[in-house]
Amino acid sequence: MKTVALMAGGLLIALTPVALYASFDGSSFTVHMLLHMGIVAVAAPLLAYGMMDTQFDFSGRVVWMTPVLASVIELIVVWIWHVPASRALASASAHVSLLELFSFLVAGFLLWLVCLRRGHNGEGRLAGTIGLLFTSVHMTLLGVLLALAPRPLYGGGEVSCFGIRLDAASDQQIGGVVMLAVGATSYLMGAVVLLYSVLREQGDVVGEERGW
Task: Report the pLDDT value the prediction gives residue 164, as an integer from 0 to 100.
Answer: 75
Per the structure, the count of domains in the chain is 1
* DSSP secondary structure letter of residue 39: I
pLDDT (0 to 100) of residue 205: 44
**Residue scoring higher pLDDT (211 or 27):** 27
Position 210 pLDDT exceeds 60: no
Express each pLDDT in 2-20 by its tens digit. Answer: 788 888 988 999 998 888 8
At 28-73, the pLDDT tens digits run: 888 889 999 999 999 999 998 888 777 776 766 777 788 899 999 9
Contact 4, 68 (CB under 8 A): no
- Least Cα distance to 138 among 80, 206, 203 occurs for 80
Residue 138 · residue 73 · CB < 8 Å: no
Number of Cβ atoms within 10 Å of the Cβ of 165:
10
Residue 202 and residue 122 in contact, taking contact as beta carbons nearer than 8 Å: yes
Q: How confident is the model at residue 201 (pLDDT cuts 50, 70, 90)?
A: low
* Listed residue (75, 83, 178, 81) closest to 133, CA to CA: 75
Q: Residue 75: which pLDDT band, with cuts at 50, 70 and 90?
A: very high
Indicate the range of 15-19, 107-111, 129-133 predicted with least confidence: 15-19
At residue 209, does pLDDT exceed 70?
Answer: no
For residue 23, the enclosing domain spans 2-210
Per-residue confidence band for 206, with pLDDT thresholds at 50, 70 and 90? very low
The pLDDT value recorded for residue 139 is 92
The answer to which of 24-28, 110-114, 132-136, 143-147 has the lowest mean pLDDT is 24-28
Tell me the one-letter amino acid at 1: M
